[in-house]
Amino acid sequence: MGHLLGYPICCCQKIAVVGEMYIDEWEALFVKKTHFEGRYKIINPKGYREGYSLISHIPCSPNCEPSLNIAQKALSIIMLNKYNKYFDKWNYWTNAAID
């Protein structure tokens, strides 16, 4: 399913190991236990349930490059539209100190 949605192969393979039926539990544990540093802060899926995550999948690791590429593309679109009211949901990312 992840392949159809354009998720990175490495992340799809990780979920295949975890098991599709345990995605929610895995996501909760992953967000709680994983520290995202530096530029990888933008692949933290912690806003997934609230709909403001920059990626719509769970990254395979806290330094997944394909996930970072997706998040950077999403962030660039959000930054271009930061004053558009329809992008308010993602203000977390435009206001956050992201290095």
Q: In whole angstroms, what is the distance from residue 26 CA to residue 29 CA?
A: 5
Interhelix angle 23-33/9-18, nearest 10 degrees: 110
Under the binding rule (CB under 5 A), the answer on residue 11 touching Zn ion is yes
Q: In whole angstroms, what is the distance from residue 85 CA to residue 99 CA?
A: 25
Q: Which stretch binds Zn ion (CB under 5 A): 34-42, 47-55, 63-71, 78-86?
A: 63-71
Please, which residue, 30 or 93, has the CB nearer to Zn ion? 30
Counting residues that bind Zn ion (by CB under 5 A) gives: 5
The least distance separating Zn ion from the CB of residue 26, rounded to whole angstroms, comes to 14
Residue from 43, 55, 60, 71 in contact with Zn ion (CB under 5 A): 60
Please, which residue, 40 or 90, has the CB nearer to Zn ion? 40
**Complete DSSP assignment for 42-81:** GG-GGGTTTT--SSSS--SSTT-HHHHHHHHHHHHHHHHT
Under the binding rule (CB under 5 A), the answer on residue 64 touching Zn ion is yes
Q: Which residues bind Zn ion (CB under 5 A)?
A: 8, 10-11, 60, 64
